[in-house]
Structure 1
Amino acid sequence: MYGEYLKEPIGSIYFFIMFATLSSAILMFRYAVTLRRFLKSFMKISQKVSDGELHSRIQTSASGELGQLARNFNYMMETMENTIEEVEYKHLQLTSVLKSISHGILVIDIDGNIILINDEARKMIKSSCPGEEEGKNIKQIINEMQILTGIKKYIGTRGSNSNDLYLEDETVYKLKIDPVYLQNSKNAIIGSIINIEDITEIIKLENMRKDFVANVSHELKTPLTSINGFVETLIMNENIEVDKRNRFLAIIQKEADRLKRLIEDILLLSSIESKSSIIAEKIRVFDVFKEVYEMVSYITIDKQIDILYNFENEDIFIEGNSDYLKQLFLNLVDNAIKYTAPEGTVEINQYTTNDNVVIEVIDNGVGIPKEDISKIFQRFYRVDKARSRAVGGTGLGLAITKHIVNSLKGTIRVESELNKGSKFIVVLPKKIS
């Protein structure tokens, strides 16, 4: 009786233990399944992240520690994605700024390895591997030796350094190197920023300015010295003969006229170069030429020169400044007359080709030596200085003509042979009505 009574609670205990064990096994199995599913999901998401899909997130209904882990992971990925987007945006901004800079920009570390470079710098240094410079040393990349030497000279130095580099092809670069310091430190240099600026045109313009000032000074000094000398002679000799006095006064007047022409040409050249007060208008080319023709006709009669013209179409128009076009015709026709011997011929032709107006001024005069043809449009350049001054030239006529043609968006060239004559060919865009 007692044994039966004892067996009953023992059986209950066994049943409870078995039930608890089975429940634990079931819970552990479910947890294992949930954990396995979570790990598979985690591995899948981590693979996507490794492949660059930073927007991927763990989707799970798990609670407790797994749920907390999933939330922490998703928050971490969101923060990382935002940070990377911000970095990429700033990199894009920096790249855009570098591309828009007209100078060559190069950033290197203290060992000369390239950190940043823009397209302009790639061209200037003649990069040996365009687009793949970052991380490589400047010695491997820079093929312009003067630039390489200039950079190596100042790597790691304190303060800014600059130098003008004159290359063999007559290009001039200004090389400026500034040190890059470690943040919040004025002693630890970690690299350099290199600015390469093409100053070829600036140097050319500066040289032209210096030459222009020197030439103007010389051209003004000569007639002024002559005028001053004759005036002093007249003042000091009150009883000078009338014929001699008149001859001196004629020379003074001639030199004064030369000064006036020179100053007028300088002012005109300055006005054209500065493009001030230019009013574009529709111009009938033949009308402007006829004005010039009438102005020079008395000279051709006096010199017994035939001036012929042939206009393919007298109703051709261009757009520009009529005074400039008049000056262009006057300079070319007047030059042709001046340098053509008596009983010679000057011919003006006009025709159209495509959308352009072509004007030719042809003479059978003294011509231009082959070696001087490329220089005749320079200011104050004279093929024969004595002859130019004798015929009243200032040395600026063809320079003015060249600038006028440029202002009319055209081109000018010359064909000439010594002692046989010259042909000036002007091409201007036709006004399309």
Structure 2
Amino acid sequence: MQKNISKFLILVVLNVAILVVAAIFIANQLSRTLQIVIISIILSSTTWGLVWFWQRRDRQDLVVMQQRMQSVIDGDLPRSVLVSADSDNWDLIRQFNDLQSYVRQQQHHNRRQILNYQTLLASLPVGVINVNHHHEINVFNETASRMLHMTTPILPVAEHLLIQQFTLSELISQTFNQKNGQRTILNLAIDGENKQYEATTFFQTDDEHTEVMVILYDLTTVLKVERMQADFLANASHEFKTPLTAITGFAETLQGSAGEDQSIREQFLQIISDETKKLTLLVNDVLSLSKIKHEPDRNTEERINLYMLVQEQWQSIQHLVIKNDIKLVNDIPDNFEVVTFKNDLTIIVKNLLANAVKYNRENGQVRLSAQKTADHWSFSVRDTGIGIPTNQQARVFERFYRGDESRQKTIADGTGLGLAIVNELLAKHQGNIKLNSQVGVGTTFTVIFPNK
């Protein structure tokens, strides 16, 4: 009501002003009748001009509002409409601007939700693939790309992208056809390597659309660990059984008439003693592996002379050295010092030296060398032994693994856990070990530690 009164007063003032000006002018020059006609024309024209101006301004406000609405429909960001406070459309446009503000807030919220969703998908340790009712892939996270050894596609993309993985594509088709989720183990050849994935599909539908979501979980490492655990139990049982059987057998023999013969009794007791020592070594090595993986290191790092440490450990295995007549060539500089955990480094050095002696040929040689770089230090143990076939080199760090029979026959003693212990200790200290071997020539183990 106030807006209409304001308009009316403005019109009145303008008309009166024009009338006064016109009257003054006409009074001086024209007759009275003609004055009245001219004044009436001026008054009427001015009034209708002002009415047209106000209506045109209101129509423009509505046109701008319509344009803003269309831009939102087209996906643009909402923008407010500016309008004079005395416009007839003030209330309507104010409500429109409030609606625009709400839409902006919702768009911002939706963008944040989408970003969170994309971040979650990218960080999931499982592969996620979603196929819509047009058989287009509209979700394909980075984990799925890595698992299937594919470049992350620009979405949406046709389901034919998965044509190389026929079993996976077939599983998706079955889920669409049966309208029910599936679960199976997929054996896929990925980049020349056999992979085992647990694939779970979910069928989703509403009144208009259907979709299938696929969750891929990599079981390759899990199944490998399970096989290693099973092998470890089988091998451990065998390793424990062998000395126990010998101890039991010779003990029973001594309980019989053989125990009356002094020389036989001493021979059998020595065998029992030797087998007991083997059993003790085996138990200690198994316990060492468990401690490495599950107990925190309570020792502290210290500066160690690697040359002297090698010399000390070589003396500690003299019973093996003398038996096989092996020569040590220590090319490590006598002032070569490193900073690490002495107890762990001692175990690593001793196991590698013992391994080099046991698998060497008679009158063979063990040569050690060491070097430092800007970011790491390393030492190598090279023997002149029987070597390791290429197809067995990947397994030498497995627990109880000893290779083929010809390699096992050269073993004087040991538990088959030495290299496994070395590998675990290096992993504990972010170190690494490399193997280079040639059958009939020898083997070189290179141990690498990061600089402290």
The amino acid of 1:211's aligned partner reads D
Aligned pair count reads 415
Amino acid across the alignment from 1:230 = F
* Aligned position for 2:83: 60
- Tell whether 2:276 aligns with 1:256: yes
Q: Work out the CA distance in 1 between the residues paired with 2:268 and 2:388.
A: 34
Q: Which amino acid aligns with 1:161?
A: Q
Hey, what does 1:176 align to over in structure 2? 200
Bigger mean CA deviation after superposition, 168-177 or 412-421: 412-421
Residues 1:148 and 2:172 are matched in the alignment: no
1:132 is matched with 154
Structure 1 residues 96, 14: CA separation in 2 closer, same or farther (over 3 Å shift)?
same
Say whether residues 1:31 and 2:54 are aligned partners: yes
* Counterpart residue identity of residue 248, structure 2: N
**Aligned partner of 2:125: which letter?**
S
Q: Residues 376, 90 of structure 1: CA spacing in aligned structure 2 closer, same or farther, 3 A cutoff?
A: closer
Output the amino acid matched with 2:446: I
Deviations 1:113-139 (A, max 9, x none): 4343322223434557x34223x4423
Q: Could you tell me how far apart the structure 2 residues matched to 1:365 and 1:16 are?
A: 127
Correspondence 1:98 to 2:121: yes
**Matches of 1:79 and 1:430 in 2, distance apart?**
58
* Whole-angstrom CA distance in 2 between matches of 1:268 and 1:303: 27
Note if contact 1:312-1:351 (Cα within 8 Å) is conserved in structure 2.
no
Give, in angstroms, the shift of residue 391 of structure 1. 0.1
SS in 2 for 1:171: strand
CA contact (8 A) 1:126 1:143 kept: no
Aligned to 2:444: 423
1:408 aligned partner: 429
Which range moves more in the overlay, 172-181 or 380-389? 380-389
Within the alignment, does 1:309 sit opposite 2:330 as a pair?
yes
Superposition RMSD in Å: 3.6
Match of 1:337 among 349, 357, 370: 357
Report the 3-state secondary structure (helix = DSSP H, G, I; strand = E; otherwise coil) of the residue aligned with 1:155. helix
Q: Deviations over 1:212-261 (max 9, x none)?
A: 11111122222222222222333354764332233222222222222211
Contact 1:350 1:358 in 2 (8 A): yes
Partner of 2:367, secondary structure, is strand
Deviation at residue 208 of structure 1 after TM alignment: 0.8
From 60, 74, 84, the equivalent of 2:97 is: 74
Q: Secondary structure of 1:367's partner?
A: coil
Q: 1:163 to 1:318 in 2, by over 3 A?
A: farther
Residues 255-311 of structure 1 deviation map (CA, whole Å, 9 limit, x = unaligned): 222221112122222222336435341241234323313313465356543323122
Query: What is the CA–CA distance in structure 2 between the aligned matches of 1:275 and 1:143, rounded to whole Å?
Result: 46
Distance in 1 of aligned mates of 2:145 and 2:360: 53
Pair 223,150 (structure 1): closer, same or farther in 2 beyond 3 Å? farther
Tell me the SS of whatever aligns to 2:84. coil
Give the Cα–Cα distance (whole angstroms) in 2 for the partners of residues 342 and 141 of structure 1: 58
| Residue 195 (str. 1) matches residue 215 (str. 2) | yes
Tell me how far apart the structure 2 counterparts of residues 332 and 428 of structure 1 sit (CA, whole Å). Answer: 15
In the other structure, the counterpart of 1:327 is: 347
Please report how far the alpha carbon of residue 330 of structure 1 lies from its aligned counterpart in structure 2 after TM superposition. Answer: 0.9
CA apart distance, 1:17:
9.3
Alpha-carbon distance in structure 2 between the residues aligned to 1:55 and 1:387: 78
1:118 aligns with 2:141: yes
Say whether the 8 Å CA contact 1:179–1:189 is kept in structure 2: no
Q: Does 1:294 align with 2:315?
A: yes
Q: 1:313 and 1:299, CA in 2 relative to 1: closer, same or farther beyond 3 A? A: same
Mapping of 1:13-52 within 5 angstroms? 22=45, 25-39=48-62, 41-42=64-65, 45=68, 49=72
| 1:377 is aligned to 2:400 | no
Aligned-partner SS, 1:165: strand
Q: Distance in 2 between matches of 1:261 and 1:315?
A: 31
Q: For residue 165 of structure 1, what is the amino acid of its counterpart?
A: L
Mapped partners of 2:255, 2:448: distance in 1 = 53
Matched residues, percent identical? 26
Matches within 5 A, 1:272-287: 272-274=292-294, 276-277=296-297, 279-284=299-304, 285-287=306-308
Larger mean Cα displacement after TM superposition, 62-71 or 256-265: 62-71
The 2-side partners of 1:387 and 1:241 are apart by 37
TM-score (norm 1): 0.81
Instruction: Give the Cα–Cα distance (whole angstroms) in 2 for the partners of residues 147 and 338 of structure 1.
Output: 50
Distance 1:387 1:199 in 2: 33
Gaps spanning 5+ residues in structure 2: where? 1-33
Equivalent residue letter for 2:275: E
- Residue 172 of structure 1 and its aligned partner are, at CA, apart by 1.9
Partner Cα separation in structure 2 for residue 69 and residue 381 of structure 1: 83
Which residue, 328, 343, 364 being the options, matches 2:384? Answer: 364
Is the 8 Å Cα contact of residues 258 and 265 (structure 2) preserved in structure 1?
no
Q: Give the letter aligned to residue 173 of structure 1.
A: Y
In 2: Cα distance, 1:342 partner to 1:125 partner: 50
